[in-house]
Amino acid sequence: MTPFSWEAGLFPLGVSMVLGGTALYKFKKSQSRTGSSPVVLCHSALLCLWGACCFSSFSVFWGWTLFSLACCISLAYSTSQEMLPVDGKAVLITGGDSGIGHALSKYLDELGFTVFVGVLNEKGPGAVALKESCSKRTSVFQMDITKPAQIKEVQAQIAEKVQHEGLWAVINNAGILGTAGDGELLPINIYRQCMDVNFLGAVEVTKAFLPLLRKSRGRIINISSMAGIVPMKQYAAYCSSKAALTMFSGVLRLELKKWGIKVAIIHPSAFRTNIGGTREIWEKQEKEVLENMSPDVLEAYGRDYLRSSTWPFLQFFSKGPTDFSPLFTDVLHGILCKNPSALYTAGVFSYLWICLFSFFPASVFDYVSNKIFRSFSLPKALT
């Protein structure tokens, strides 16, 4: 009997059947908690395709051997993707007044989490709606993340509630878009506002709650933006602050591994929220920019350039999808997955834009970006 005979392939056959069946079962069981049935089907299809390739290209022995190896790898991956039980795990979400933070707070409350929500205005309509609609597991706190005293006060209250169990996850969601406009036109205070909220605020919150995360060996989920990797015209301040948050998350992931704390960054595309503001807010911001513009810059750009160039970009945020489920699926995976991903790209085209910027020549990215986000007007000196 040679090692390539059919009898010699019975052992790999048995191994592959056991490992393959176990892998698919564990993967399906873990993914079913997040409702990712397409992922299960794709995983199963790839495994079957690999098996067919092995059997058609190699001898019986090597075909079953390679297929068994694929099953082993699949089993290891599916094990790392197992979802932990909710079991009333406590999570903190910042920026719960409206938009993603508000909807995410309700979503996690419905799943059975103990939810602590930081809001900018504890008496505002968003905070009141959370108190009325969520269960008793959800608590709302006044927490302006640009004010360290409020963060410290909330940390003390949460520490009293969770005690020795610690806090399972911190979700840094709070953020602002800031004023839109060419980078040269934006006053320096706009850059500072974006950095204070989008970056330094998240740093303050993370540092304050890390002692509670160490107790639970929990998670940090930072909701950044596609603009944290991909440059976008008219948003120099916003992009810069989100890029800082992205790099901070990467460094934390490396440093906190020794404590058993996992860090994930999420780069959503443009979902429809109120972050873009209203026409009244745009007019106020436009007035502020014009008042702070030096005479020579004002002469070069002209008074009409700001509105004609920036308002179409601001209206872009009113056309985004309102279904947050892709983002919520990624957040939930980051919170509960045994081995969460370091990077999530939620929403339409987010990953494609990042790939275009990361792997193609800059000239290609610039061409595509300028075609899609074309300028609607030119500065006065260029007309």
- Is the Cα dihedral 206, 208, 211, 216 positive or negative? negative
d(CA 250, CA 264): 8
Nearest to 142 by CA among 171, 172, 121: 121
E strand or H helix at 90:
strand 90-94
Token pair for 303: 């008074």
Please list the residues that pair with 119 across neighbouring strands: 142
Token pair for 71: 């099953």
| DSSP-derived pairing of the beta strands 219-223 and 262-266 | parallel
Task: Find the helix packing angle between 99-110 and 325-336, rounded to 10°.
Answer: 60
Q: How many CB atoms lie within 10 A of CB 304?
A: 11
Burial track 120-140 (b if 16+ CB lie within 10 A, e otherwise) = bebeeebbebbeeebeeebbb
d(CA 103, CA 118): 13
- Gyration radius (Cα) of the chain, Å: 25
Residue for token digits 């513009």?
Answer: 293
Q: Which of 107, 191, 238, 301 is catalytic?
A: 238
Please list the residues that pair with 262 across neighbouring strands: 219
Annotated active-site residue 367? The verdict is no
> 310 to each of 178, 286, 313, 314, how far by Cα in Å?
12, 9, 5, 6
Q: What are the catalytic residues?
A: 238
